């Protein structure tokens, strides 16, 4: 498996210990957690809130 990359901007996700995350089976509870960088995540959440989703 490769390194997790942001699904939106395509940047590598830093600060996310994916291997340790898998071992402890701990996953971010936030939507898109571990999928997009925090910037895009904030953007997505704001967008979702705006749309009322």
Among 4, 6, 13, 34, binds Zn ion (CB under 5 A): 6
* The one segment of 7-15, 19-27, 44-52 that binds Zn ion by CB under 5 A: 7-15
Burial (CB count within 10 angstroms: exposed 0-12, middle 13-18, buried 19+), residue 36: buried
Q: State phi, psi for 38 to the nearest 5 degrees.
A: -65, -30
Minimum CB–partner distance for residue 38 and Zn ion (Å): 8
The footprint of Zn ion on residues 13-42 (CB under 5 A) is: 36-37, 40
Where on the chain is the footprint of Zn ion (CB under 5 A)?
A: 6, 8-9, 36-37, 40
């Amino acid at each position: 498996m490769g390194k997790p990359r942001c699904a939106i901007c395509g940047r590598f996700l830093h600060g996310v210990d994916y291997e340790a995350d898998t071992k402890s089976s701990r996953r971010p509870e936030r939507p898109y957690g571990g999928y997009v960088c925090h910037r895009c995540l904030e953007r997505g959440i704001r967008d979702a809130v705006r749309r009322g989703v």
